[in-house]
Structure 1
């Protein structure tokens, strides 16, 4: 023994090695950590996963996130294959070929919202149905490309200007023929609903309507012919400068978009040529009106129509603005003008018949215009007194030459009636003016009757008195 220690009794002792400290058993902790983490992970996963057994159409999406479910739905639809038995044989197209789509993201989000994994009561829900949308144009193209022998292209309706009739006319659409897209779409829907990745369908040939219909072309023709009917430069409601149909048509270009719309455009530079001549056609001086009125100022005859003077304003930009209007189908271009009003000259006319003096006096504006001797109705045929107006007039007629009359005077000239069968007229059978001689009429010389006939318009007032 090399090492030791002296005790109090003088003996030397050797130290026994100390007993090692008992270590704590931590194995349970290490085993528990993975189990706890797994449980936490499972709980977390249940918060973002769709419940087991959930499906959209025939696509199982249980246990997937909403994003993964959306991808699964879209992929299944795109890959679903339809074998079409057509008159040209069998062809196969997929949902992708047909332009098929569903709102997969919305469907997946809805499935998770209604059936989350964390909610056991929502597990194994009833499947969700969905309507598949098919791009009809893409489907028709896919079927045409795979079975060209089944396809006959439709012919679009067209619009053109016919110079002979000076109108726009329609060439009608003609339907084509192709595989029934509706039958193929129904087969795709059925396969997708049932979760079948592939199916077969018999599809007949059906008419294929033209993208541009006859009705759409007719509507464009109606607009264009409306343009030709009304094309011009207007001052108010007056078409002051008319644009003839052929010229208006030469300004226009009609461009179809292949979908039924016919865009109209107009040549601004061509319109400029018409605008250059506008001042000569629009500008004018005022013309005063000349009218005949009665004693109350009412017009009984317009001798000259009044006309407002006008001068065209600045024409810069008119051509471009008119071109823009024509593109919208509006061919009435309103011009800006400054106007000068006209004045109206009024002449009052009336006739006075004085039975006592046996005179006829014509008055203009209260002044004597003419005064003549006359012969009124003789005894038993007296001319009636009263206020009347000139009515019917005739340059010549026979008088009294009818049953019930005991006289007949042929070819009486310049007759102007004012009261029933009483009239002013010319007299060639006597010259005894100033003395009552007639059967109620007012006799005048032929020349005087002619002047009154021309001077007294219908509506002229006649006063007969003693």
Structure 2
């Protein structure tokens, strides 16, 4: 009888150990390869919004999340009234890239890869809720419940010169916490959601008393006088101007009125804009060879305000301290140059052929200048003047002074649309057309937006000289 061969115990152990090592080596190698193959991709079992993203890279997952986010809707029913909105319309913002990165957590890890073979890993979306956008959406939902509450507030009075309170009233709405919770669940799962909300009584956050208190404070803020001194005039902010400067904010549930720095700055910049201007070049008359003959129009430097921001800040500080403000605008002059105008060198260049000793006055409506001559010699000027505007144009032609009055009221009767009292140094040259001083004018010449009713408006000191120099019968020539 033949007996089976019996292996020594040491040999059996070695054989068993070798088999185990070989098996583990094979399994380990397989898992290592498997792990490496998912290094930049989502592991098996990973889901986002209930959808598998296994094997997807970051860009693919982010694209999927963005698409699902834009398509997911929340439907709200209140009193059988229905409102549906996509998540972007509710104030929810999803960070698709951050969500994709979260889905790749563990990719390339041996342990995480091994675990993924046996367990699912749901990944919630990374989302935030924009409060102001959510509030706008909640307001639409509140409207389904009935008449919403009216918040107290402040508004301009009928004449826009002050602030008045707008009363509050109670109304209907929904539980915004339930609405917010539904949005959170919908955005986390990226799955359409339907919710039913019951209407409830809602009291306004801002009461009528709050509004009255804010209106009172607003009117106190704008009560002080505000003026800005410019090179031409002092500009006083009207009550209506200052009322526009008020803004309101909700601070810890309280309606607060304050001065808007941006609106004050806007007003100051408007004043500065009336001062700022480009330079206007003077004009020299030259002959065909370029030789200077005479000054036709003096140069007018430009102006550029340099302290508008500082003026705005000073006004704001004064009002916040219940103090009046009187602030000077500073400016730099912008130099003007000269242009040349080619004219005949002989007497034909003049608008009037005067005798050698004849006094006459040239009023150039193109250049807005006045020049006094004796014959062909300049004795005064050219000086800047203003003349008639559209609908009140100064007539052109050759005229003569027929009446001189040292001072007189102009207009001031029912047939005239204006009234200027005590106008000085008047020399009439055709009907109601005259040369006269204009103390109310802020700026003369080109670049001014001030025109007359047809007369030639002249700086008072120049008008006095002209009045004393001219005589009844002196020629006045008006032309373009």
Q: TM-score w.r.t. structure 1 length?
A: 0.39
Greater Rg by CA: 1
Q: TM-score w.r.t. structure 2 length?
A: 0.38
